[in-house]
Amino acid sequence: MTRSLRSRLIVGMLLGMAVLLLAADTTIYTVQRRQLYRAFDDTLLSSANALVLLVHPGPFGYWFDSEGLARLLTSEIRPGALFQFWSDQPIDILPPRPGPDSMPSEPGPPGPAWEDRPPPEPGFRGPEPPPGPPPFRPPPEDAGPLRGRAPGELVVRSPLLNGRDLPRLDTPSGQARFEKIMMPGGGRGRAVGVQLQFPARGPGPRRLPPVELTIVVAASTVETEKQLSFLGALLAATALGTMAISGGVSWLVVSRGLRPLATVARKIAAMDETGLKQRLLGCGVPREIEPVVDQLNGLLGRLDEAFERERALTADVAHELRTPVAEVRTITEITLSRQRDPDEYRQALAETLDVIRTLQGLIEKLLVLARLEAGQMQAELQSVPLQPLLAEHWAQVRNRAAARGVTFEDRCPPEALVSADPKLLEVVLANVLSNAATYTPDGGRISAEAERVRDQHRLSIANTGCELSEGEVARVFDRFWRADAARGKSGLNCGLGLTLVRRAMEAMGGQAVAGVSQERCFVLTLTFQAAEGLG
Amino acid sequence: MRVLIVEDRERLRNWLQKGLKEAGFVVDAAADGKEGLWYALGNSYDAIILDLMLPGLDGLSILRQFRAAGREDQVLILTAKDTVPDRVRGLDLGADDYLVKPFAFEELLARVRALVRRGYGKHSPVIEIGDLRIDTAKRQVWRQEQEIELRAMEYKLLEYLARRAGETVSRTEIWEHLYDFGSQTASNVVDVYVASLRRKLDRPGEKSLIQTRRGLGYVLGASS
């Protein structure tokens, strides 16, 4: 099957249509054919019924009314029909009119239509026989076959037969039998056979013996077949024409219907990563394509956000790297611009060193973060006691905190063993404690507690004096996000610390969550897997 | 010439202030956006050095509000944002110059000097009034081809009067361009410096270069 939607739609539609047309045309053809043949058979049967009435009982046996036949040939017999009579008893073929006494007084044999037919009306004369076929002349009294006595003897046959025979169709008495036959003159035809029992009549020696009569009427079906083949051809031609036209129309309709897809495709093709702000407009798009367009728009939105984040990150990284470099350069250039005291040089070098430390810390954080995010850093988990590490890292920032009157309350139980990568855990604790030491206001308090919840250890580090709103707390893990108040403070904080903490915790199978307590404390909760499970 | 620095990085701000002062500028410094806008609107500066990423109020908002207030002071954006859209946005909002961090301090100085010149409608770094010649880049003064040694304050006063040559300049204006925001100086200090300048520049028997307009101020190179 072709992959073109248009071809599939059209082929599918045409197939369906073909099946439908075939069914409809077959039905029409079959019904028409049956009706034609039924009408055909009806005329054959009524011709046979009419012929039956030509046989009358007479004083010397049954006789055949040849005059009546001549009349029937122009009226009740189907034009062009051939017929033939057989009888098992000799039957007279007489031109004279039968007398009223010769009417059959007994009901005919049981059978269909011809049962109650009245005999031909006395005195009725049909029109003169047409000049075409030779008028029926009763054969002489002793004419051979017509007076014969052998059973199944031929009585009379249609003049059109010209001496040829129709097949004799035997059938139970009183029933009609229809057959397809080959016409004696060639060509296909249909025939009906009717068999009748005429009862014995009269008393004593003048008693008429019973007679069994067989009548076959046949007619050529060539005309009917012609009509049927014309009908068939007409139906086929109509069907083919309909298919062709609907194929063309549906090609146009489907092409027109698929045009919005092409439009969408063009719009998508025209997009690159710089054009992600555009959306595929939904207007004019059919309902069927709307979900696709909606999904695409959603995808574009997400891509745009991702690109935007990357762009913002690049800008942030650039900003955060350039600013310290600008500081070093400015300090150095201004210092060198003139002769200075050794103290001034010393001061400038000390400040330069400070800036370089900031820069180094930033670069290291960026590298660790990049490795964590690229999946290049696998956490090597082992059982680590939490409390000693906490104390060790606090010692590194203790002086800085103490200078501002910030105290630390370590309520971490010494037995807490967590599953962690020692290097990553160091990164986490160093950043968390350094952050706390930096952002806790003068005279504030930092506290650490750990609790065991099922198979996890939760380490909460809280510091007083949090001025962040709920929305701001949600952003503390964003790269380079910093609360306003934090900007301008010196130190290693550059808006990457908490991002790094979260990534490192995730790499160790734990998590980091930030919140604000009711006492306006900033609480960072680190969840570790308990180490016992590691054995 | 008086300059305002709006920069949130304390170290950079301090060093810029130090460097610009050593280069002969009078410098005010603001650490955040709101403070910066307050300084900019409250004083007249020959140049404003503006960072973009600032707490409180970002640099572009400051610029927008500053220009909306009808202020025409020269503004140089000094930022780590280096993309073309950033530069275009800054310049279109009314900045006169844009310099990306990290930068050469010499270049910053040269750009600030150029801004100051432009602020007074001049392009040449050399101002000539009669036989008085001032090279504002080298901060040197000649009269009749003879170099005159001036103290820093005297030079600042002369350059300011020379930039506004022919105009009457009030004592307040002079004071504002000679002293930064934190200065606590007696109000007659301007008169003292004018007197010492006259002593160094004027020749005996000639009319003084700096004329006093009683009750209004001083004028250098008056046509009359």
Tell whether omega for the bond before A413 is within 30 degrees of 0, i.e. cis.
no
Measured CA to CA, the distance from residue B96 to residue B73 in angstroms comes to: 9
B203 touches chain A (CB under 8 A): no
Neighboring chain B residues of A337 at a CB cutoff of 8 Å = 19, 22, 105
What does the block give as tokens for A459? 């380490």
- For residue B15, the tally of other CB atoms under 10 A from its CB is 24
Using an 8 Å CB-CB cutoff, list chain A residues near B53: 319
- Choose among A356, A359, A446: nearest CA to A410: A446
Residue of A487, A489, A490, A493 to mutate for B, most B C-beta atoms under 10 A: A487
**Which residues fall within 8 angstroms of residue B87, CB to CB, at 6 or more apart?**
B98
Element (H, E) at B211: strand B210-213
| CB half-sphere exposure, A409, CA atoms < 13 A | 10
The answer to whether residues B179 and B188 touch, using CB atoms and an 8 Å cutoff, is no
Query: A293 CA to chain B: closest CA distance, Å?
Result: 31
Distance CA A142, CA A137 (A): 14
> Per the structure block, which two tokens stand in for A313?
């990150």
CA–CA separation, A441 vs A464, rounded Å?
7
Residue A95: its pLDDT value, please?
65
Residues of chain A in contact with residue B100, where contact means CB-CB under 8 angstroms, are: 322
Q: Are the beta carbons of A61 and A209 closer than 8 angstroms?
A: yes
Overall average pLDDT of the B173-186 stretch: 81
Query: Using one digit for the tens of pLDDT, what is the confidence trace for B130-144?
Result: 888 999 888 899 988
Q: Looking at the complex, does the CB of residue A322 fall below 8 Å from at least one CB of chain B?
A: yes
Which one-letter amino acid corresponds to residue A108? G
Q: Which two tokens stand for residue A195?
A: 């068999």
Query: Per-residue pLDDT tens for B40-53?
Result: 998 889 999 999 88
Instruction: Quote the pLDDT of residue A356.
Output: 92
In B, minimum Cα distance to A351 occurs at B11
- State the Cα–Cα distance between residues A171 and A214, nearest whole angstrom: 9
pLDDT at A116: 36
Complex ipTM value: 0.83
Task: Identify the pLDDT of residue A283.
Answer: 60
- Res A105: pLDDT: 37
Please check whether residue A355 touches B, CB under 8 A. yes
Nearest CA to A449 out of A402, A409, A404 is that of A409
- Tell me the pLDDT tens digit for each residue of B167-178: 899 988 888 888
Say if CB B83 and CB B39 are below 8 A apart.
no
Q: Using the beta-carbon criterion (under 8 Å), do B12 and A330 form an inter-chain contact?
A: yes
CB A186 within 8 A of CB A42: no
Strand B146-148: give its sheet, edge to edge. Answer: B126-129, B132-135, B140-143, B146-148
Chain A CB within 8 Å of residue B72 CB: no
Look at A326 and B102 and tell me if their CB atoms are within 8 Å.
Answer: yes
Q: Which of A7, A89, A13 is nearest to A55 (CA)?
A: A89
Question: What are A99's two structure tokens?
Answer: 């007398």
- Tell me if B105 and A325 make a contact (CB, 8 A cut-off): no
Comparing C-alpha atoms, which of A136, A124, A145, A156 is closest to residue A67?
A: A136
What's the pLDDT at A66? Answer: 79
Distance, in Å, from the CA atom of A37 to the CA atom of A58, rounded to the nearest integer, reads: 37
Q: Is B83 on the interface with A (CB under 8 A)?
A: yes
The most distant pair of C-alpha atoms in chain A lies apart, rounded to whole Å, by 175
Buried b (16+ CB within 10 A) or exposed e, A491-514: bbbbbbbbbbbbbbbebbebebeb
Q: What is d(CA A48, CA A46) in angstroms, rounded to the nearest whole number?
A: 5
| Listed residue (B176, B209, B214) closest to B195, CA to CA | B209
Asked if residue A475 lies in contact with residue A491, where contact means CB atoms within 8 angstroms, the answer is no
| Residue A324 identity | P
The minimum CA-CA distance between A429 and chain B, rounded to whole Å, is 27
Asked if residue A324 lies in contact with residue A316, where contact means CB atoms within 8 angstroms, the answer is no
Reduced to 3 states, what is the DSSP secondary structure of residue A148?
coil
Residues near A63 by beta carbon (within 8 Å), at least 6 away in sequence: A55, A56, A57, A91, A92, A93, A94, A98
Rounded Cα distance between A111 and B79, Å, is: 118
Q: What is the mean pLDDT of residues B6-15?
A: 92
Contact A330 B16 (CB under 8 A): yes
* Chain A residues near residue B80 by CB distance under 8 angstroms: 318-320, 322-323, 326
- Inspect the interface and report whether the beta carbons of B53 and A319 lie closer than 8 Å: yes
Specify the pLDDT at position A142. 38
Query: Do residues B180 and B27 make contact, with C-beta atoms less than 8 angstroms apart?
Result: yes
Position A110 scores a pLDDT of 38
Residue A496 has a pLDDT of 79
pLDDT of residue A281: 63
Q: How far is B116 from chain A (nearest CA, A)?
A: 21
According to the model, what pLDDT value does residue A168 have?
A: 84
Q: Is B137 on the interface with A (CB under 8 A)?
A: no
Whether residues A334 and B19 touch (CB distance < 8 A) is answered with yes
Interface check for A323 against chain B (CB to CB < 8 A): the answer is yes
In the block, tokens 């071809």 appear at A7
- CB contact A353 to B (< 8 Å): no
Q: Identify all chain B residues contacting A490, using CB atoms and an 8 Å cutoff.
A: 10-11
A138: region left, alpha or beta (phi > 0 left; psi from -120 to 50 alpha): beta
At B160, give phi and psi (nearest 5°): -65, -45
pLDDT in tens, B200-222: 888 888 888 888 888 888 998 76
Which stretches of chain A score pLDDT less than 50?
Answer: 96-150, 485-493, 534-535
Q: Please check whether residue B45 is in contact with residue B96, taking contact to mean a CB–CB distance below 8 angstroms.
A: no
B28 pLDDT band (50/70/90 cuts)? Answer: very high
Contact: A355, B106; criterion CB under 8 Å: no
Tokens of A427: 């990164």
The predicted structure's pLDDT at residue A229: 93
Count A/B contacts: CB-CB distance under 8 Å.
Answer: 75
Picking from A315, A327, A338, the nearest residue to B81 by CB comes out as A315
Distance from CA of A487 to the nearest CA of B (A): 7
Q: B164-186 burial string, b = 16+ CB within 10 Å, else e?
A: bbeeebebebbebbbbbeeeeee
* pLDDT reported for residue A284: 67
* Predicted confidence (pLDDT) at residue B1 exceeds the cutoff of 50: yes
CA distance A492 to chain B (A): 13
A-contacting residues in B 152-171 (Cβ below 8 Å): none
Give DSSP secondary structure letters for A90-128: --EEE-SPPPGGGS--SPPPS-SGGGGPPPPPTT--PPP
Across A54-198, the runs of DSSP E, i.e. the strands, are 55-58, 61-65, 82-87, 92-94, 153-157, 176-182, 188-198
Cα A263 to Cα B38: distance, rounded to the nearest angstrom: 54
Q: Which residue of A has its CA nearest to B57?
A: A484
A358, amino acid identity: T
